[in-house]
A = this chain, B = another copy of it.
Amino acid sequence: MSLEHAILGFLSSQPLSGYDLKKIFDTSVSHFWPADQSQIYRTLGRLVDNGWAEMEVVNQSDRPDRKVYGPTPAGRTELLRWLEAELPLAPTRSPEMIQVFFASRLADDQVLAMFERVAAQMRSGLAAYDAIPQDITAYENYTHSPREFYFWMLTLEIGKMQLRANLDWIENMIQRIRDGEVPQS
């Protein structure tokens, strides 16, 4: 399971609590693997059950106690195994593509509105990517080596490139509709 291994990946750099992990997920991998807080805690429990992680309670006087997790040797081995494993390619589910598929039921101006709506979503997505700092100093709490940081930035790069490609395609489609290239019946 991917979430298990993503968590193992983070734990392999430093010991972390569920609360820490939620913050880290939201600031790093959420664009290709969002994680629910509740699910993170449950998955941490499962990692311990599997023997892949161990937990230590850290007492705090002014705040609730933390449960800090770290990988066991078996967990580190499992992470490396998974990183090299061939993944059964995950089906991409895109409700927007269903809208495109059945767009023939709509009139051209409605189709145009649909594409422009999606294009606007994508443009704001691109803007969100551009707002992410690309400078290693902004991530000093989370990343521990230039190599780690390099692959992190790669995932941003590919995410941006995919969005860019889709947006280009949609803008091209909008032009095609305006040019009357779409059959009417």
Is there contact, CB below 8 Å, between A150 and B183?
A: yes
How many identical subunits does the complex contain?
A: 2
Check: A55 CB closer than 8 A to any chain B CB: no
- Docked-complex contact B154 and A185, CB < 8 angstroms: no
Docked CA distance A155–B104 (Å): 12
A182 interface residue, CB < 8 Å from B? yes
Q: Which residues of B contact A82 (CB under 8 A)?
A: 99
Stretch of A37-45, A57-65, A89-97 lying at the B interface? A89-97
**B83 and A105 within 8 A (CB):** yes
Residues of B within 8 A of A92 (CB): 31-32, 92
List the B side residues contacting A90 at CB < 8 Å: 93-96
The interface centre, meaning the residue of A97, A113, A150 with most chain B CB atoms within 10 A of its CB, is: A97
**B83–A106 CB distance below 8 A:** yes
Which B residues lie within 8 Å of A121 (CB)? 86, 89
Q: Which of B2, B95, B110, B113 contacts A98 (CB 8 A)?
A: B2
In this complex, what residue of B is CB-closest to A3?
B98
Interchain CB contact under 8 A, A161 and B169: yes
Contacting pair A102 B151 (CB below 8 A): yes
Pairwise interchain contact A28-B101, C-beta atoms closer than 8 A = yes
Q: Which residues of B contact A169 (CB under 8 A)?
A: 157-158, 161
A86 proximity list for chain B (CB < 8 A)? 117, 121
Known pairs A92-B92, A149-B183. 12 more at Cβ < 8 A?
A2-B93, A5-B98, A5-B102, A9-B105, A83-B106, A90-B93, A101-B155, A103-B151, A147-B182, A147-B185, A154-B173, A158-B169
List 5 interface pairs A-B (beta carbons < 8 Å), by A numbering.
A84-B106, A84-B113, A87-B96, A89-B125, A147-B182
